Amino acid sequence: MISARGLVHAYGERRAVDGVDLQVDAGERLAIAGPNGAGKSTLLRMLATLLRPRAGHLTVLGADVADDPRRARAGLGYLAHDPLVYLDLTARQNLELYGDLYGIPDRDGRIDDLLDHVDLLARAEDPVRAFSRGMAQRLALARMLLHRPRLLLLDEPHASLDARATALLDSELGAARDDGRAAVIVTHEVERVADVADRLVVLRAGRVVLDEPTAGMDARAVRRRYEEAAA
């Protein structure tokens, strides 16, 4: 699903990501953690094709992102800090827009199913501006899942979700593992990693300092390994 070799990205002279190697296979859920400024979000934006690597080689969903980023984008689902929806459009109009951008067949049926899934069907015709933060994030979840992406990229997904959306996201991550999709989750909430990811990668100063499976670890063990690596 993802193959990265020697990825580099710099802001001016400062290297935010400095020679990262990463392999993510189908059905795998990878958590990326690290202190502030470690390069987590920059790395995720490169995986999402939103930032071009300054050096290194990146393949996402079989597409070399330097040559054919659109092929990679077609199979990506990206959940960011912001819901990435227009506040002055209704929930349905936002999903119609993304449905057309991704060329989804049976767009309207899929939108109804997803709005029902995220408990927003009754508010489908309301502008997003009238939504609470939690509702907007649930709509963002529907937006991310609309085109049935094979690779989920999530940036601090639990930071702004309400309890309902958190349960939906966690169940979606479980389903992703079961049906062979992959997920990369950038997180500060290391205690959650054991529940939502199969592997933990810790970044420090743009470099990978830990990359190991979380199988058999509980939240405390994950926290301990993280703190040892990030120190």
Partner 1 sequence: MSRRRQLAALVRKDLRLELRTRETIVAMVLFAIVMMAILQFGFGTRDDDLTRFVGGLMWVTLAFTAVLGVGRSYVAEREQRVLDGLLVSPVPRVVMLGAKAIAIFLYMTAVEVIVIPLVGVFFVQGPYWDAIGWIAIAALLANACIALSGTLFSGLALFTRARDLILPVLFLPALVPVVIAAAGATHAVAGGPHDMSEWRGYCLFLLAYAILFSLVSVATYDAVFDD
Binding footprint of partner 1 on the chain (CB under 8 A): 48-50, 52, 69-71, 73-74, 76, 78, 80, 82, 84-89, 93, 96-98, 100-103, 127, 143
Q: Which two tokens stand for residue 62?
A: 């079989």
Give the residue with the Cβ less far from partner 1, 155 or 172.
Answer: 155
Give the residue with the Cβ less far from partner 1, 109 or 174.
Answer: 109
Give the residue with the Cβ less far from partner 1, 90 or 214.
Answer: 90
Least distance from partner 1 to the Cβ atom of residue 215, Å: 31
Give the residue with the Cβ less far from partner 1, 102 or 209.
Answer: 102
Q: Which amino acid is it at 65? A: V
Give the residue with the Cβ less far from partner 1, 36 or 70.
Answer: 70
Contact residues for 206 (Cβ-Cβ < 8 A; gap 6+): 15, 16, 17, 18, 19, 20, 38, 39, 42
Least distance from partner 1 to the Cβ atom of residue 169, Å: 18
Q: Which residues pair with 57 in a beta bridge?
A: 5
Contact residues for 157 (Cβ-Cβ < 8 A; gap 6+): 79, 169, 185, 187
- Helices of type H across 120-218: 133-145, 163-178, 193-196
Least distance from partner 1 to the Cβ atom of residue 176, Å: 18
How close are the terminal C-alpha atoms of the chain, in Å? Answer: 30
Give the residue with the Cβ less far from partner 1, 143 or 225.
Answer: 143
Q: Are 208 and 21 in contact (CB under 8 A)?
A: yes
Least distance from partner 1 to the Cβ atom of residue 86, Å: 6
Beta-carbon count within 10 A of 49 CB: 21
Least distance from partner 1 to the Cβ atom of residue 60, Å: 11
Distances (CA, A) of 11 to 7, 56, 96, 213: 14, 16, 36, 31
Least distance from partner 1 to the Cβ atom of residue 214, Å: 27
